[in-house]
Structure 1
Amino acid sequence: MKKAGEKLSFTSLAVALASDYLSVYVINTVDDSYVEYNTDGTDKELIPVSEGDNFYEDTVKNVAIQVWPEDQEIFLRVFKKETVLEALKDGGSFTHTYRLNINGEPRYFFLKTIRAGEEYILVAVRDIDEEKRRELKATEEAVTYAQISGALASRYEALYFINVETNNFIRYSSSQDYSNLGVTVEGEDFFEEASNDIKQFIHPDDVDYLLKHIQKDYLIEELNDLGTVILAYRQLWDGEYQYMNMIVIRPKNDDKHIVMGVVNNNAQYIREEMLKKESRTFSDISMALAENYEVIFRINTKDYTYEAFSSDDKYETFQKSLGLDGSDFFRETKKIFEMVVLKDDLEMMKTALKKENFLSSIQKFGKLFFTYRMVMGGKSYYTSLFAVQSKEDPDYIVMAIANIDEAKRMELAYIKAMDIANHDALTSVKNKRAYVQTEVEMDEKIEKKEQSPFAVVVCDLNGLKHVNDVQGHQAGDEYIKGSCSIICNVFSHSPVFRIGGDEFAVILKDRDYENRYELVEQIGVEQESKRVNGMKPIAIGLSEFIPETDIRVQDVFERADSLMYEDKKKCKNEINNVG
C-alpha cells in the first residue's frame, strides 16, 4: 500500500477524477487500509493527505461528525463494505448522494465507487450542491405543473390512466362518493376489471352497450376514427342509478396510453328530460338544443334537403344572407364552412362532409363525431360536430354543432401540464422521471420476452465545472444546452433523457439502433469544433440489449455507463499526452 507523502500520478486515477472530484480514497480490499488524495497544482497532480488502517471503521466515526444529521442513518445503512463490493461485481459501480455539514449548513455531495484492479477500489467525492439545488428547483416546478393538472381534472369524478399495451391502469378519484363505490383503484388488466365493475354497478339496460364499447380493440378503433370517444350510461350511485358520461382521449404524442374521465351528468340529464317533455319538436333536436348546440341540422337522406334549427335567429339571418334555401345540405354547408372554418382545418372538414364519406361513416358507426376550429370575430374557437341517424325516422340524420372552446382548451392545458411534468426545464428533453417510467415499461416487456432490440447510450459532459468556475453558471447552462442539442440532432429518432446535472441517456430503437455505430462516430465529428481546453465536450458509451442475459434495462445502462467512463478517461489522457 502507498504511504502518505508519496505522489500518485493523475493518469492512474483519471477514471475516478473524470467528473472533477474533490477527494479520492484508494482502499485495499484485502485489509481495508486506505490513503486519501486531494488534487494539487495546475496539472491536477494527486497529493496524499491522510491514511488509515480501516477505511470502513473510520467512515463510521467521520459520519457522526461530518455528515448532515438527517442523512447519517441512511449513509451508514447503504455504505457498508459488503454492499459496496456487491455493487462493484462485474464492472459495476456504487453511487450515493448525501449532505455534509459545512459550517452549520447542509451541502450536497456525490460519492462514486469503482474498482481499480483486483486489490483496490476507488472512492471519489464531488461537490454537487449548486447543480443539485437547481435540480430540486426544477422538481418543485414540475410538482406545480402536476398540481395544475390535478385542478384541471377536478371536473371529473375519476380519471383512469391506462396502458393499452399491458392493460395496467391507475385510477385517480377527485370524488369521495366515487371512491366509496369500491371500484378498483389500480390493477393489471383494466379491461377485464372494468368488465366486472360494469356488471356490478351499471344499469342492466346499459350493460351490453358499455361492454361492447369498452372492449379494447373496439375502443381503440373508435379513438382512431373519431379522436375522442364519449359514452353515456347509468351507474349505481348513492343507492340509485344516475346518468354518467365517459370521455376517452389519447395523451399527446403517446400511443401507449389512453385517459378516461368519468363525469356525473345526472343533473344535466334531468334538465334535458324536462325540456324534452315540453318540446313539440323532434326529440333528437330537443336534446341537442338542451346541450346548448349552436345549430342543429335535420337532413333528409333521400333527397338531401335539410332544415336548420338554432336557439336564436342568428343562423337563420346568416343563411338568408347567403341565399341558401335548404335544398341541398352538402352543397350549401360546403359554402358555409369555406367561410367560417379555420384554414388549417378546412380540408379535413371538406373530406369529412363529402357526401359519400359522411353517409358511409353514419352507416358504419351509427354516428359521426369530430372537432374543428371556427373563426368568429377574428378569433378561432374549438367546435364539435356530432351527427347521428334519427331513431324516430331512419330516413333522417340529425347533425348538431356546439361551441366547446372552453372545455377543449382546458383539456389541452391539462395534457400540456402532464407533458411538462416529464420534461427537463433547462433543455426541454425528457427528464429522469420520464426515463424511469420508460425503464419500467421496457422491463415489463423484457420479463415477458416481448422487447424488441434496443441500445442505451450514456453521455456525460466534460469540463462543465471548468465552464461554471471560469465563465459562470449561465455559461454552464448554455454549455449543457449546446451539448444536449448535439445529442438530439445526432439521435434524431430516439428519446433523449437528462438523468443528471451533466448526464444524458438515449434509448435507441429502429432506425437509430440499426445505425448506432455510425451515429456514435458522428457525435465525435459534431463536437470537434466545440472543444473546451482541448477536450471534446461529450464522453459517450453505447451498449446493446442482450436478450439471453439482460433481465432489465439497468443491465444495459450499466455497461454503457462503464464504457462512457472509459471514453472520458481516454479524452483526459489525450490532453495529458498533448501536454
Structure 2
Amino acid sequence: MQLTFEDFASALSLDYECVFFVDNETSCYSMRVYRGEHQELKLVNSNNFWDDVKVNVEAVVYPEDKQSFADHINHESLLKAIQDGNVFEFKYRLVIAGEPVWFQIKAVFARSHGHEFLVIGVNNVDKRERERIELEKKASKGEVFGRIVMALAERYDALYMVDLVTNHYALYKSERLFCELCIAFEGDDFFNQLQKDALSVIYKEDIPLIVAALKRESLLRELDEHAMFSLTYRLNSPAGPQYVNLVAVYADKNHVVISVTNVDAQVRREQKIREEANLAFEKSRRDDLTGIKNKNAYGEFETKLNRQIQSKEPVEFAVAICDVNGLKTVNDTQGHKVGDIYIKKASKLVCETFKHSPVFRVGGDEFVVILLGSDYENREKLEQDFVKKVNDGTGKNKVSLACGISVFDPAHDKNVSVVFERADALMYKNKESMKGGRDEIIDAVV
C-alpha cells in the first residue's frame, strides 16, 4: 500500500506545523501548513526547494545559525544523512518579531506513486528547547563545579561543598588529621554540626573565634561583602594544636565551597621568623654595653614626639641630657674595659633616677632622657636627687655626670631639637661648674 500526500499530511500535521514534500529527482516541492487546531492544511507549490532554502536562510534564519543551517539543509547532506532508512533531525532558530525562536526539522525518505520524496517536517520547539538548554546549563554547571571541586581537593586537606538551600554538606577529601578528629564526611546540617564539632576539635582558645565567625549569617554576610572569607585557627590533634587555614567562597548563589588546609609548619615558621625579626629589631634599638635604648630608638621617639607637636596634640615632656665626665681619662689610664664599667655605672645612676621615663645612650659618654608623666612633674626634685647621688658616691659607686634639663614650651618650641639644644647648653654649663669636684671623683675612680 502506497501513501498519498494527504495520508502523510494528515499523520504529520498532528506533530508538525508544516510539512515539505520534496521530489528527490526534480527538487519540486509542496508544503502543507497547519495553522492551529481548527485551520485547514494549505498547499503551497514551488519549482526548486533547494534554491528557495538558500534564499530563505538569508532572510529568516538567526545569524548565528545560518552557516550550520546551510551546511546541513542541502540536497547532498540530507541524502547522506537519511540513507538506509535513517531519520535526520536538526534544530535551528528563525527570527520572528525580532527574536530568535527554536524550530526542529525531521526528514525521511518516502515513496509515492513510483516517486522518491524527501518528507521534511518542521515544528516550533522553542519552549521545549529553552527548557532543555536551561537544564543542560545547570547540569553542565554541576559537572564543571564537580570537576572544579575535585581539582581543588588535590590542593587542600579538606574541601566541603555546602548546599545553602538544604544545609547538606559533603567532604570531598580529608587528610589524616581530619580523619583522626572523626569529622563527618557528609551531613544534613553543616552549620549546626560545625558548632558541635568546634567544642571537641577546635583548640580551646580558638573556639569563641570559630563559633562566632562560622555562624551561617556571619559567614554569608562576610561572603556578600567581601566575596571571600579566610580564617586561621588551631585544631586539636594527638600531636598537639595544629594551625589550619579555612577559606570560604561562593560556588554559585546556592552553594559555598569551604577549603581547610593544614598550615601548621608554615605558621610556625612565620612565627619564628617574626620572633627573630622582632629580636633583631629590638637589638638594633638597644645599646650592647648598657642594655638601654640606643640612638636609633631615640630617633624614633623624637619623630613620634615631633608628629604630636606638629599636629597640635597636647603633650608635656622635658629633655634631660647627662654626659659622663672624664671617660677619656679612664680609658687612657685604666683601659677600655674599666671605661666600659664606668659607663655602666653612669647608665645605672641615670636609670635609677628617672625610673619612669625612657633613657637612651646616644653617644659614647652621652645619655638622653625624655621625662614623662610623674618624672616630668617631679623633674626639679629628680634633678636635685641626681646631683646628690653624683656628689655622694663613694668607692666603686663613684661616677661623675653633668646634667641639663629643659622643658618643652608649646608656645615657642616647634620640635624636639629646640628643647634638646637648650638642655645640651645647660648640661655644658653644669659641666663647667663641676670641674673641681668632677676631677676629684675621676681621681677616685682611677
Q: TM-score, normalised to structure 2's length?
A: 0.49
Tell which has more relative contact order, 1 or 2 (C-alpha 8 A, sep 6+).
Answer: 1
